[in-house]
Structure 1
Amino acid sequence: MSSSRSRGRLGALPLLAFYAVVFGVPAVALVVGAFTVQGRPSLANVSQSLQGGYLTAMIGSVRLSAVVAVLGAVLGTFLAYAVVTSRFTLLRESVLTASGVLANFGGVPLAFFWIATLGNSGVVSGLIGLPSGSLYTFWGLVIVYLYFSIPLMVLSMAPALDGLRPQWREAAANNGATAWHYWRFVALPVLAPAMLGGVVLLFGGAFSAYATANAMVGTVVPLVTLKIASALTGDVLIGHENIALALSLDMVVVAGLVMAIYLPLQRRTSRWLQ
């Protein structure tokens, strides 16, 4: 037994080395650079990243990601439930296939698609009388992000919804439980890990997105990813050349806090999946 474990650990060494190079080295460089100013240890970069326009951009990114995550999770879960419970196999397969495509459709092509459709000179915006510039706002960006977030939530929730056994509903009904009691005490606790994981996934996708927002809103909507790109291209103060690293570290901290909230809840609810 011990020899097999040793061979298993040796087999994992190449993978661990790969992770150390791909993730470990950039993480160390990020932290060191964030706390370094002109070759000396300093908190100036981190302090600067939490002030003025940088702080506004961070708050804007968190707000945008939270709204997209919540709306995408709710709408995606309802759509996934409708697809899973449908009697039409073709509809289920078509929606899941389309979700797999749309979940990976982003960047500049997605921005061009929406601008050509609902932009100032878009094909549809003139027909419905959409106010000029409404797409290039916070809520316009939310709608565009939902375009790939809802399909991603459908893909996350469909397997979990398939795991709901009909016998559980029958057992609940035989014990006098209403539909509300079934969803409150049986179905939702089972689905909670998948739903929470989907929310975290959507939050991370919206929080880290750059190309779509850059092509659509530019500096109209303050986002931390746009600030990082601006800092990398030289739009920084003298002595704060590593401000982009500090902003990136702030993003890592926010993502870590989100995961710190998710993991305890996931452990608490995972017992329903046993």
Structure 2
Amino acid sequence: MTVTSAPPPVVAAPAAAATGRRRRSAGWLAVVPLLVFVAIAFGIPALAMLNGAFTVKDPATGATSYTTANLTTSLHGAYLTALLGSVKLSAVSACIAMLLGLLLAQAVVVSRFRALREAVLTASGVLANFGGVPLAFAFVATLGNSGVLTRHLGLADAGWTLYSFWGLTLTYLYFLIPLMVLTITPALDGLRSQWREAARNNGATHAQYWRHVALPVLAPSLLGGLVLLFGSAFAAYATAAAMVGSSVPLVTLQIADAISGNVLVGQENVALALSLDMVLVAGLVMAVYLPLQRRSARWLA
């Protein structure tokens, strides 16, 4: 009896692998312009900042040397006060904006009026990017010493002043609350109605549902939004510069003063050291934000 063996199957793996490599190469080529732009726009300034932060120039000889004196100076005296002031202002305004933004976003999500939802989200997209000198002028004209509401409501007699820590916090809330609405609305949309029904069927009240189900699921998104708000407030400069000047110590204002020589001449490298401090704080913020976003995405997927 003769046994005939079947011909070996044609293996298409090499061709498929080659196709996959070509696609990956094409993908990398498409990203090259973005990588070049990032290297030029962010890489070169970052290297210049690092070099200047660790460089000290001898005023007598003009020779430069590498040292940590600038970083040490940036963490003492008025510079440290400004850094802590920025952290405090950012943390307070971010916490208030997170709470108010969550309440507003929840009201929009549960609303039956689609037009209201679209209007609020559209307005939030606009207001979240409204800052700088125009925002400062708007608040000065409204709540400044001679502002419309200040005069009509007699706020000055009650001790109100816009040019203070709480006045600046109120101004920051104008763009932080809309930013929180945009950030948390997708997470609120991801809460499944089945979870609420299951909690109700098991005898849970509305408060218990939020305490034991909704808030634990939303916690990564809430903390991620808090970190994002903190970073936005921490990096803000133009609004504070136009509204309060140097009356409220902030690190961004200290950097501008050091670069322009308003206080002391030759403090440009100290300004770069302060910028490095801000980058380190922002790096810590992002190190917290990214894992929280990934965890939230897994829950709400």
Q: TM-score, normalised by structure 1?
A: 0.93
Say which of 15, 18, 24 aligns to 2:43.
24
Change (3 A) 1:271 1:89: closer
Residue 93 of structure 1 and its aligned partner are, at CA, apart by 1.9
Instruction: Give the aligned length.
Output: 274
Q: 2: CA distance between counterparts of 1:91 and 1:263?
A: 31
Q: Which has the larger radius of gyration?
A: 2
Residue of structure 1 equivalent to 2:165: 138
Deviations along 1:65-108, one digit per CA (max 9) or x if unpaired, are 00011100110010010011111222222222221221111111
- Is residue 83 of structure 2 the alignment partner of residue 58 of structure 1? yes
Residue of structure 2 equivalent to 1:87: 112
Residue 57 of structure 1 and its aligned partner are, at CA, apart by 0.3
Say which of 28, 33, 48 aligns to 2:52.
33
Identical columns (%) = 66
- Return 5+ residue gaps in structure 2 as ranges: 1-19, 58-63
The one-letter code of the counterpart of 1:118 is L
Q: 2: CA distance between counterparts of 1:41 and 1:174?
A: 68
Residue 182 of structure 1 and its aligned partner are, at CA, apart by 2.7
Deviations along 1:94-124, one digit per CA (max 9) or x if unpaired, are 2222212211111111111111111111111
Residue correspondence of structure 1 range 102-141 to structure 2 within 5 A: 102-131=127-156, 134-141=161-168
Deviations along 1:122-171, one digit per CA (max 9) or x if unpaired, are 11111211126611110010001001111111111112211222122112
Q: 2: CA distance between counterparts of 1:50 and 1:163?
A: 43
Q: 1: CA distance between counterparts of 2:105 and 2:207?
A: 19
Say which of 20, 34, 45 aligns to 2:70.
45
Q: 2: CA distance between counterparts of 1:168 and 1:52?
A: 53
- Secondary structure of 1:8's counterpart equals helix
Residue 176 of structure 1 and its aligned partner are, at CA, apart by 4.0
Larger RCO of the pair (alpha carbons < 8 Å, separation 6+) = 1
Residue of structure 2 equivalent to 1:259: 286
Residue 32 of structure 1 and its aligned partner are, at CA, apart by 1.0
8 Å contact from structure 2 (residues 241, 253) kept in 1: yes
Q: 2: CA distance between counterparts of 1:225 and 1:71?
A: 22
The one-letter code of the counterpart of 1:104 is N
Deviations along 1:156-208, one digit per CA (max 9) or x if unpaired, are 11122112221221123334444344323432233233322221221111111
RMSD (Å), alpha carbons: 1.8
Q: 1: CA distance between counterparts of 2:198 and 2:192?
A: 10
Q: TM-score, normalised by structure 2?
A: 0.85
Q: 2: CA distance between counterparts of 1:229 and 1:67?
A: 23
Residue of structure 1 equivalent to 2:103: 78
